[in-house]
């Protein structure tokens, strides 16, 4: 018998869905960042929690501009994308002390991109032994905290680290 409880998922299952548009094309307003799980906004891209995480703290870094191919990014967008990936790694190290990270992107649906039309980079914290038996036996992932609670705890870390970088003259 298998019993897995994730009561926070029901709000998403029953809640309103974006109407046919790209789930990553966001307004630049910060009003609904918590609802959309956006933890950091930069000039040309943003970081958000993955709504379907592979691990607790799984982030995506996404350009605001709707572009599918990495070659379609401007030099400024490509640089800032990597700056925000670096910031995301630092924030996750502070937040959850992983033993390592997976960082990468799947370009196109054939490569495994769930949203192939809008380029995004994944930043996934990893721990020794985190690919435990439950994922191997039944393709199940256990995420120990509701995404909104993770947002509440992670967003201030991004603000602090981004502020420190700004004071030191670094990007992001």
Residue 118: active-site member: no
Please tell me which residue in 40, 79, 118, 120 is annotated as part of the active site.
120
User: Cα–Cα distance between 92 and 55 in angstroms, integer?
Assistant: 12
Q: Under a CB-based contact definition with an 8 Å cutoff, are residues 95 and 102 in contact?
A: no
The residues with which 45 forms a beta bridge, in sequence order, are 63
Report the C-alpha dihedral over residues 151, 99, 112, 84, rounded to 10 degrees. 50
Active site residues: 120
């Amino acid at each position: 018998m298998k019993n897995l409880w994730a009561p926070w998922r029901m709000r998403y299952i029953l809640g309103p869905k974006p109407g046919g548009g790209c789930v990553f094309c966001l307004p630049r307003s910060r009003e609904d960042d918590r609802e959309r799980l956006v933890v950091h906004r930069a000039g040309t891209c943003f970081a958000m929690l993955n709504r379907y995480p592979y691990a607790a703290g799984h982030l995506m870094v996404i350009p605001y501009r709707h572009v599918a191919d990495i070659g379609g990014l401007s030099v400024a967008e490509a640089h800032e994308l990597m700056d925000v990936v670096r910031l995301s790694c630092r924030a996750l190290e502070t937040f959850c002390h992983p033993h390592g990270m997976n960082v990468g992107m799947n370009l196109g649906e054939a490569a495994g991109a769930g949203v192939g039309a809008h380029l995004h980079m994944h930043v996934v914290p990893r721990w020794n032994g985190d690919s435990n038996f439950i994922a191997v036996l039944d393709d199940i992932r256990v995420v120990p905290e509701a995404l909104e609670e993770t947002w509440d705890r992670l967003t201030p870390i991004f603000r602090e680290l981004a502020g420190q970088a700004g004071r030191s003259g670094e990007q992001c």
